[in-house]
Amino acid sequence: MTADAKHTIRKLEKAGEYDLRVEWDDGVVMHYNTASLRRACPCASCIHEWTGEQILDPLSVLETVKPVRIEPVGRYALRFHWSDRHDTGLYTFDLLRSLGEPESSPQKND
């Protein structure tokens, strides 16, 4: 009906201490390393608004960063409250879709 995000998220899950699992509406499942996701923060204090240059020094993000809380924003994005107290990034579904690692289909060894 509207030109909104092409895919929406159906389910969020903590798969490991630093592993976020996301189920999409088309059945695709993706995983996200929490520190990598923090480094990809799209907010104006992490990415320069005009040049698109990254302001955030990726090395300043510890491997042990993880979300404290994740909440939906409208029907198009998620807001992450990170353990390093950063919480201004809105991760659109489009962005998340491009960042995720598809879950490898379970190997059957029988």
Instruction: Give the x-and-dash track for 38-67 against another protein (CB under 8 A).
Output: ----------------------------xx
Under rule CB under 8 A, which residues in 71-90 are in contact with another protein? 71-79
Separation CA 56–CA 89 (nearest Å): 12
Could you give the 3-state DSSP secondary structure of residue 39? helix
Q: Taking CB under 8 A as the rule, does residue 31 contact another protein? A: no
Q: Taking CB under 8 A as the rule, does residue 10 contact another protein? A: yes
Q: Which stretch binds another protein (CB under 8 A): 10-18, 44-52, 55-63, 96-104?
A: 10-18
Separation CA 69–CA 88 (nearest Å): 13
Separation CA 42–CA 91 (nearest Å): 7
Separation CA 23–CA 30 (nearest Å): 7
Q: Taking CB under 8 A as the rule, does residue 106 contact another protein? A: no
Q: Which residues, at least 6 apart from 75, have a Cβ–Cβ distance to it below 8 Å?
A: 4, 5, 8
Q: Which stretch binds another protein (CB under 8 A): 6-14, 40-48, 54-62, 101-109?
A: 6-14
Interacting residues toward another protein by CB under 8 A: 1-5, 8-14, 66-79, 92
